[in-house]
Amino acid sequence: MNISNLAIAFFFAFIPAMGWLVLYYRKDAKDPEPKKAIAQTFLVGIAMVIPFIFLRYVIIWLNLSPLFLSGLSGTIVFALMEEMAKLSAAIFVVSRHRMEFNQLIDGVVYAVTAALGFAFMENLFYLSSFLSSNLYGENFVYVVAFRNLGTMLAHTLFSGLAGLIWAYAYFSKQITPFSKKHLLTFELKDFINREILSLHIIRQNILKARPSRRGGHEKKVLVLEGIILATFLHIIFNMTTSLELFGKNLTFMAVPGIIGGFLYISYLFTKKLNTKILKVV
């Protein structure tokens, strides 16, 4: 790999990631998270990309690219795996800084930070590969703009919503605080039986900015639904940026959603979501 190309790719991937990170971090100015915890979350988000790189090489080596690296099935599988990886990075760090996790909005902050680490590493490999193909000029400018203003921002929106739901599950007073061992495990029967109640909690508690106090809902199921929501939005984004209709790319259709999502996440920081919750039960 050409060192100069890697350095250029690093610059155009890292600077935007830091810009978005500072922007989100300053939105939580009333009770900011420790910079050490934020840095750790960003680094763990970076580390989460490594298994995907290894998996991609394995798929290519086994000649399974048509099945897993293209088409709707590949889009769904990788979108789900990416959203689980990003949220898991945030959960991993919070489990070591639990005393700092004291607001609902903190779920958004940590999830967004992990997403930016993930997106930075993803962009680094994408841009370095693009430069190695010797395609310079306007195409490179377009790719950099799209990857950093489109894809990177989209990653933060998907993970931000999943992080918000995770925070509600964490602070809600139904079961016990999350368990690292069992957080993302569930039984299909339990998931189906509680689906209606899950939607009730999302509608009555999450949208109204207050943790749930009613019993009978598994936190891990609510967290899983946050991941599913993020995955669904991720799939829609990937489809709109890769499909064509009447010979015209549909990327422009994703722009209103990205702008609206960013405004919504920004709005969350102005609500009472940034009020400290002193007791976690």
166 vs 60, 94, 198, 250, CA distance in Å?
Answer: 34, 12, 13, 32
- CB neighbour list of residue 132: distance below 8 Å, 6 or more residues apart: 1, 2, 5
pLDDT at 264: 85
Spans of all domains in the chain: 3-274
- CB neighbour list of residue 261: distance below 8 Å, 6 or more residues apart: 154, 157, 160, 161, 233
- CB neighbour list of residue 274: distance below 8 Å, 6 or more residues apart: 28, 30, 31, 103, 104, 105
Q: Give the DSSP letter string of the chain.
A: --HHHHHHHHHHHHHHHHHHHHHHHHHTTTSPPPHHHHHHHHHHHHHTHHHHHHHHHHHHHTT-HHHHSSHHHHHHHHHHHHHHHHHHHHHHHHTTSGGG--STHHHHHHHHHHHHHHHHHHHHHHHHHHHHTT--THHHHHHHHIIIIIIHHHHHHHHHHHHHHHHHHHH-SSS-S--TTTTT---HHHHHHTHHHHHHHIIIIITTT-----SS--HHHHHHHHHHHHHHHHHHHHHHHH-EETTEE-GGGHHHHHHHHHHHHHHHTTSGGGS------
pLDDT at 255: 84
| Closest among 110, 86, 108 to 98, alpha carbons compared | 110
125 vs 52, 100, 270, CA distance in Å?
Answer: 12, 33, 35
Going residue by residue through the chain, which has 281 residues, state the pLDDT in tens, using 9 for 90 and above.
578 888 989 999 999 999 999 999 998 877 888 899 999 999 999 999 988 878 777 776 776 666 665 667 778 888 888 999 999 999 999 888 777 788 888 999 999 999 999 999 999 988 888 888 765 555 878 888 888 888 999 999 999 989 988 888 887 764 333 344 443 444 444 444 454 455 555 555 555 545 455 444 567 777 887 888 899 899 999 888 876 666 676 677 888 889 988 988 888 887 766 666 544 43
Give CA–CA dist 280/273, Å, rounded: 15
- The backbone torsions φ and ψ at residue 94, rounded to the nearest 5 degrees and listed phi first, read -60, -35
pLDDT at 179: 42
Give CA–CA dist 10/232, Å, rounded: 29
pLDDT at 205: 54
